[in-house]
Amino acid sequence: MKNYASPNAKIWTGRTSDEQLYLHEKIQCIPLDEITWTPQKSIALLGYACDEGVRRNQGRVGTVNGPKSIKSSFGKLPNHLSENVLLYDIGDIVCVDGDMESAQDTLAQAITSLLQKKQFPIILGGSHDVAYGHYQGIHNYVSSKNKKHTIGIINFDAHFDLRKNMGKGNSGTPFYQIAMQCKEENRRFEYLCLGIRKDANDRLLFQAAKDLEANYVLSETFQMPFLNEINTWINAFIQNVDHVYVTIDLDGFSSAYAPGVSAPSPVGFTPYIVQECLKTIINSRKLISMDVAEMNPKYDIDNQTSKLAASLVHHVIHTMFQV
């Protein structure tokens, strides 16, 4: 497969035990095409090793190495999953010769296949153009089951990523591309963005959000004191959709927590509000897939950002698959 690299078992290191106390001891490295359906609860980690979208968007490249960095930090975390929960590293989708569209197509195919095999996909990026391929894969799976089923996107991000793609897409266009596809297919564009900053989106982007009827919460409101109100908005959004796709852009966090991103900011949100919102989403039982984007190890400090990304994934899987 042109845009695929098999898992690298050498990155899964850490403390050792005889009881799988750490995730690197539990993880199984299996190529994508060898994953099969299983009646057991199963989680598949797939990297999106691509920063072409950031380059096209005039950002700081380096996210191509994001998946490896997150996996390395994730493996060192403690394992509280029961023995009957399977955890796989199935490799990476890679971008060859700047052909981001081909990488997105391969990602979409992989997502559809994983969902068909009853895996819970967690995609580790990589620039935020991961969202377009990721959504396509979910849409292809869902529409094969029931064409009327709706997919709600919940994006934790400082940016709308609703830029019009003039010719080619980039890391700032994925949700505009999805919106245009929904319009062509006469489907509702269901989009909730949490953590939007006024100093990170120009007025044309706010107008685009209005025109597309996107829902959003500004960064000054996306804080712990307003958690009850935020959860009310999240629940209202989820009630109108059949499935939820969560995407977490690490550049939405304050650079105090996430310096290793393409577009850092000292006034972003905190991990605590995101974790609480993720609990609400998971409790709805509609979460179908998720990704973490914009991990840029080139600018990280003491692996803070990769550890944050790893902790978020750890939080999600241990909330979903409680012992």
Contact 139, 309 (CB under 8 A): no
134 is in an annotated binding site: no
Residues 6+ apart with CB under 8 A from 40: 84, 85, 86
Distance, in Å, from the CA atom of 224 to the CA atom of 183, rounded to the nearest integer, reads 35
318 is in an annotated binding site: no
291 is in an annotated binding site: no
Residues 6+ apart with CB under 8 A from 239: none
128 is in an annotated binding site: yes
Distance, in Å, from the CA atom of 221 to the CA atom of 274, rounded to the nearest integer, reads 13
Q: Which residues are annotated as a binding site for Mn(2+)?
A: 128, 157, 159, 161, 249, 251
Q: Which residues are annotated as a binding site?
A: 128, 157, 159, 161, 249, 251
